[in-house]
């Protein structure tokens, strides 16, 4: 961390650097929409780099956006514990 402090030219102790990073407003987004837009921009900027990272990227995305809703809801499989509880509850009610 000392190397980073020297590289950015921060004058002060490491503790002061951490305090500065934690409290300075320029390192934070104003709201959730601004944060989401920044992450989407970062994701969209990284899309052209995907072929360099993986040769198996035939179906790579062309943009980052919200996920589409599934056409039909998926069913969560019940665990064995849940199946036993259901069986006990039905046995009690009979």
- On whether the CB atoms of residues 16 and 8 are closer than 8 A, the answer is no
Tokens of 33: 């929409």
Helix (H, G, I), strand (E, B) or coil at 51: helix
Q: How far apart are CA 41 and CA 19, in angstroms?
A: 28
- Residue 79's region, left for phi above 0, alpha for psi from -120 to 50, else beta, is beta
| C-alpha span between 18 and 5 (Å, rounded) | 10
- CA 8/CA 49 separation, integer angstroms: 27
Kindly state the tokens that stand for 44: 């969209």
pTM of the full structure = 0.43
Ordered mean pLDDT values, 10 residues apiece, the chain (94 residues)? 86 90 89 92 84 62 61 68 86 83
């Amino acid at each position: 961390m000392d190397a980073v402090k020297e590289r950015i030219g921060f004058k002060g102790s490491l503790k002061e650097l951490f305090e500065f990073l934690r409290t300075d407003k320029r390192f934070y987004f104003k709201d959730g929409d601004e944060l989401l837009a920044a992450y989407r921009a970062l994701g969209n900027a990284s899309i052209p780099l995907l072929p360099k990272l993986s040769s198996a990227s035939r179906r790579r995305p062309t943009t980052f956006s919200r996920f589409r809703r599934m056409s039909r809801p998926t069913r969560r499989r019940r665990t064995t514990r849940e199946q036993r509880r259901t069986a006990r509850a039905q046995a009690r009610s009979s």
